[in-house]
Chains A and B, each alone.
Chain A
């Protein structure tokens, strides 16, 4: 009997621990095989991205690169929610893809050590294709470590705008939004576009739409998410609270679907289903929305509403980074240099992949989706706010999202939620220092 007990307890231990297995440092075993593979295929490069919408356009650009240099490029897509787990495990095990997308949320972690990401500073200095003054300064700075070394070359910029349902505006007899509309106008319009029978609502904003909507609202009202020195939370500032109370008022007006609906459905899905008249969308959602037949027929794009401080669209941009342990560092740098060059950046905008980071190359991008007012997104660049991030953004960010659920669902007054977020966030930020 005794051995049975022992073996059962062992079995239990094994089953539980197999969960933790993927988290342990044991993952270093994986590295060896992938490295051998890349040697076999000669000089080819592995590129990791998370957005499948961009793959066809990037594929074309990569093919140009292959034609020019003879280096094959293999694009691997890992969806956003798994991307960082994948990259972190790969970095721990020393088997990162050669070239990959970097995001401002995560660069802080990766910039901590100097043997994870390839240091591009010297290469940029020698390069005649890359001059960092051609890219937005904030974006360039985001991808630097504490010593000012450049770890990624900006790939694109994204801004945010309002998508609205023209048919619903016509039906309610409301003029289409113009560049000078304010948040008060927005609130009124949203109310008018809401039908009493619950078949149509003015707008849908969920906590997860932070970048597209309520972060912008905060800055438009003169508040902030994070102080510029990244040491304190801005959530307890009166102007931040005022902005969040604006959102709260729109919810209280009944202009948004019930919170359960918002929590179970993306704002894009609600737009496509014709349930809401307006949603806030980042420029990365364009391929998805513009590809939908209902949206094509009924919807268009408008600039963000103005607050006392303007529109303040949050803008962010990805960077192209390379692994410090790449088997083919020369090739990896060549690819990044090519992707950051004026030629490739122009092509990226031209193909409608995204707005490009290289200043002045995005004008052709507005023509990539005919029938939509793409200019609105480009105009939002004029009065924009860089995406707030700190060294360990994820830690306070997850807490903030969790607490905001109470504010959006009406379980707690928004003011209390904001003050609560500020207290917790300040604790996390103090730990970062």
Chain B
């Protein structure tokens, strides 16, 4: 009803703005539809099929793929691996980024150089980043173990010890993303009016108190955005595992993520139906977590 009323009242100018507005977002909308939204439904549809090669000969099997999924211990192990990775990656990438952002928000020499350095990993191709870290981590020839040896510590099997490998992967993830998070936080910090701090200083609050009482609450909307996007991205971790953990690696069962498993089933073993079922599971999990976060934000996010 409301919409109809609004339409009647629309002036020429409004109508033209309306048209142009839609015209401008049309390319993005089209991209989103073709590359994302349609494939979502295709993937869900496909998860009910036993798929043949080359997208042909699909046989409807109902919930067969899901039955297999729930009985497949590898899937649940992969889910656990993914969550473990996220639990390490998300908090550290955010805490480190916020500390860096606060420090680099102050007036200091070479501030933009530092900002650039921290942002650099974001610009590198993830595959190249993973290759470099793979060599750093190598237990036999890697730089990290050489350094450990030089100071008399025992070697660490960074990527082949199942207990350590997921942390090593998370370190790469953290390293790659702190620059990006930092830039977002910097933008948030610059929104905070200076007079709050001046007032706090007059009241005798020190830097730490200022950070917790002023900075943190006021960048909570940015924080919320970063948390949401980081959780989603970390649950989708794939490239570093694909590049750094080889098929021979004994740590693979304890590090492979859901997306890695999806890749293996869908593309290596050519079972796209089952692969789709795995990705639908991931979709549901991410949705659940996100809905929960949306609910929880009311408790801690302050919009002014």
Contact = CB atoms under 8 A, between A and B. Distances in A.
A215 to B, nearest CB: 15
A264 B157 CA distance: 10
B215 interface: no
A26 interface: yes
Contacts of B264: 398
Contacts of B236: 15-16, 19
A408 B42 CA distance: 41
12 contacts: A8-B290, A8-B294, A9-B290, A17-B279, A19-B262, A110-B53, A207-B248, A265-B141, A392-B269, A398-B264, A402-B253, A406-B250
A20 interface: yes
B95 interface: no
Q: Which size class do B's interface residues fall under?
A: 35 or more
Contacts of B161: 260
A47 B283 CA distance: 38
Interface in B160-219: 160-161
Contacts of A408: 248
B270 A24 contact: no
Contacts of B291: 5, 9
Q: Is the interface of A mostly helix, strand, loop or mixed?
A: helix
A92 interface: yes
Interface in A11-27: 12-21, 23-26
Contacts of B35: 18, 21, 26
B55 A19 contact: no
Q: Which size class do A's interface residues fall under?
A: 35 or more
Nearest to A404: B248
A401 interface: yes
Interface in B229-275: 232-233, 236, 238, 246-250, 252-253, 259, 262, 264, 266-272, 275
Interface string B36-56: 111110110010000011111
B287 A23 contact: no
B249 A263 contact: yes
A72 B160 CA distance: 47
Given A19-B236, A23-B272, A26-B35, 4 more contacts: A20-B262, A21-B43, A206-B248, A207-B248
Given A16-B286, A88-B270, A264 B246 contact: yes
B32 interface: yes
Contacts of B82: none
Interface of A: 4-5, 8-9, 12-21, 23-26, 28-29, 84-85, 88, 91-92, 109-110, 112-113, 116, 206-208, 257, 259-265, 273, 275, 392, 394-395, 398, 401-402, 405-406, 408-409, 411
Contact of A409 (B34, B246, B250, B276): B250
Given A12-B286, A92-B55, A263 B39 contact: no
A392 B252 CA distance: 23
Contacts of A92: 54-55
B96 interface: no
Nearest to B289: A12
Contact of B269 (A16, A91, A394, A409): A394
Given A23-B272, A88-B53, A264-B139, A14 B36 contact: yes
